[in-house]
Chain A
Amino acid sequence: MKNILIYGQTDENGVLKRGCLELISLAQKISEDGKISMVLFGDESMTARKQAAEHGITHLIIIKDEKEIHMSLIKPYGKAIKKILDEEYFDVLLISATPVGRDIAPYVANLGGYAMMSHCLDAHLTKAGTIVWSGAGFGGTLRTKATFDGEGTQIVTVRPGLFSVPEPVTDTTCEVEVRESVLQPDDLLSLIRILKKSEIIDLESAEVVVAGGKGTGGERGFALIRDLADAFGGVVGASRQAVDRGWIGHEHLVGQSGKIISPKLYIACGIAGYVQHLTGMRDSGFIVSINTDPRALIYDVSDVCVVGDMFEVLPPLITEVKKIRG
């Protein structure tokens, strides 16, 4: 039996990030009916409290503090999580590899004298009850399986987008513990301003990403890509070829120098598939590529390869997807 603690990151509205809900599925897979706890920062009235209970959290610790974490809270929140680990033994601490999670996890690990595993893709239990963590190295070129030595808490960040959110259930019991915060934000850091917040592109937590490359030919092609992404309720991605031509902003870049993502569905349109791009998306759940070149490199990592002109395939595809998704 494994007791698992999840850090539940919330947004400014007190809603849990999708990646944190996905962690509950992973926790259920490896907990052997152990306790699945979550620590939240915010207040008792926040939506995240209900979300956590509905999706399978049985023990919730709410620390009264800011709902939305920002840079100057990373250290104090890390200290609070470390304190929980000191007071109660958890076999595993799971943190979603969001930009914040990627900073909190090593900070907690360092405070407690732990090693930690970054950006895991999956985990399974052996018959002997050992958790084996799967990861990727060198931009997805290397696949690894690793375990933890030692008796301490296994601290792991998990890439968002790889697991489903557990189905909500209503008749759950969740023990809620509310703690007063004693945390002081790091006053050596201050936020001066936030630039362009007009368009939020959360490539890393998107379930569906529709991406365009050189083959989109520019704005006309990206208009179709945007329509398809909207039809799926997804997000627009792009290859270096498209970004460098100024067809779309750098924040959409998927690949070695952009975002490394693993949505459930990745649709690549007019993307050749150079290794730098593959690095960013090859761990996606299901990959569809649409290209006029039947020898395109992207087909090597694709589950479905559509050979054809995106300007002919995308319009009927958008219509069909809209029809089905209503």
Chain B
Amino acid sequence: MNILVCVKYVPGEVDLELNNAHHLNREAMAGVINPFDLYAMEAAARLKDEDDSVRITALTMGPQGAKKALKECLALGAEDAYLLTDDVLIGADAYDTAKALAKAVKTIERTKGAFDAIFIGSKTIDGNTSQLAMRLCEELGLPALTYALTATRREQSLEVLVENDEGNRVYDIKLPAVLSFTKAEFNTRYPEIVRIIESEHTDIPTLSAKDIGYVKESKKTAIHMEEAGFAPTEKQGLMIEEKLGEDSAKKLVGVLFEEHLL
């Protein structure tokens, strides 16, 4: 089984920086692998735990610095990793990203063979658009399941546990397919020290837009960021600090009533 895991290198939680175009200044930030993508990587690694013949390839799109995310994937169990990087992809939205990733998938398949499954995170902690899985599956002409928690191998398919508010569901999905993973109750694994050292020496090929035959396509609509700023961090909330809990409760009820919340 041949699995491709797509990961995104996202800024850590501190030191966000905005550039003139109201976009996050990605070059300047110390990053991490998007936590949701780590669950996609974990799901692939678990399939490999079960079956040694499973091969995992990691792919990311981003600046040169995003290679750090790929090294982590190698240390977590991926055999190969590719960086898709090109100036034409700077500021790519979900539409552009899905088109570019689909082309990169096709390009990698030419040397590595067809992928049976493509795993990604269900959302990212930076953009949080949650658009990619459904766009990517359409670009690749594959079925998709989103918000997966675990995946188990069956003969020609995967049995997938999917998060659902009205009771989690188990699906069977024919391969090849696109699966997006969300955070599960278990923790993702830590890389083995030996693999961390090995990953430092593994060659990570770089793909350019030209290599994958990507040309930015025009779309019917595009999003124009007018303003971006940091949310006000502190509200000056009304303090209720009565001696008796009962008095505090009554005062609170009064406020809720005035606000039409009761």
Contact = CB atoms under 8 A, between A and B. Distances in A.
A309 to B, nearest CB: 6
A102 B24 CA distance: 23
- Interface of chain B, helix or strand or loop or mixed? mixed
Interface in A101-145: 102-107, 109-119, 132, 136-145
Contact of B228 (A142, A149, A257): A142
B248 A306 contact: yes
A107 B143 CA distance: 12
A152 B242 CA distance: 56
Interface in A61-99: 71, 74-75, 99
Nearest to A306: B240
B250 A257 contact: no
B171 A109 contact: no
A151 B170 contact: no
Nearest to B94: A106
A115 B223 contact: yes
Interface in B213-262: 217, 219-231, 233-235, 237-242, 244-246, 248-250, 252-253, 255-257, 259, 261-262
A250 B221 contact: no
Interface in B121-138: 125-135, 138
Interface stretch (A38-46, A212-220, A317-325): A317-325
Contacts of B227: 143-146
A182 interface: no
Interface in A135-186: 136-155, 186
Interface in A13-67: none
B115 interface: no
B164 interface: yes
A248 B228 CA distance: 37
Contacts of A223: none
B135 A142 contact: no
B228 A144 contact: yes
B60 interface: no
A324 B147 CA distance: 40
B22 interface: yes
Interface string B190-231: 000000000000000000000000000101111111111111
Contacts of B139: 110
B93 interface: yes
Contacts of A312: 244-246, 248
Interface string A257-279: 10010001100000000010000
Contacts of A307: 239-241, 248
> Which of under 10, 10 to 19, 20 to 34, or 35 or more describes the interface residues of A?
35 or more
B134 A300 contact: no
Interface in B111-166: 125-135, 138-139, 143, 145-147, 159, 161-162, 164-166
Interface in B41-78: none
Interface in A297-318: 299-309, 311-317
Nearest to B22: A144
Contact of A300 (B94, B233, B246): B233
B165 A202 contact: yes
Contact of A303 (B133, B220, B229, B238): B238
Given A144-B228, A149-B223, A150-B220, A317 B131 contact: no
B94 A303 contact: no
B172 A189 contact: yes
Given A71-B162, A114-B221, A189-B143, 16 more contacts: A136-B231, A143-B231, A148-B222, A149-B221, A201-B165, A257-B35, A300-B234, A300-B235, A306-B240, A308-B245, A316-B249, A316-B250, A317-B252, A317-B253, A320-B250, A325-B262
24 contacts: A71-B145, A71-B171, A103-B146, A110-B134, A110-B139, A115-B93, A116-B129, A116-B131, A119-B129, A139-B125, A142-B228, A142-B229, A146-B226, A151-B220, A189-B145, A191-B170, A201-B165, A300-B235, A303-B238, A305-B237, A307-B240, A313-B249, A316-B246, A317-B252
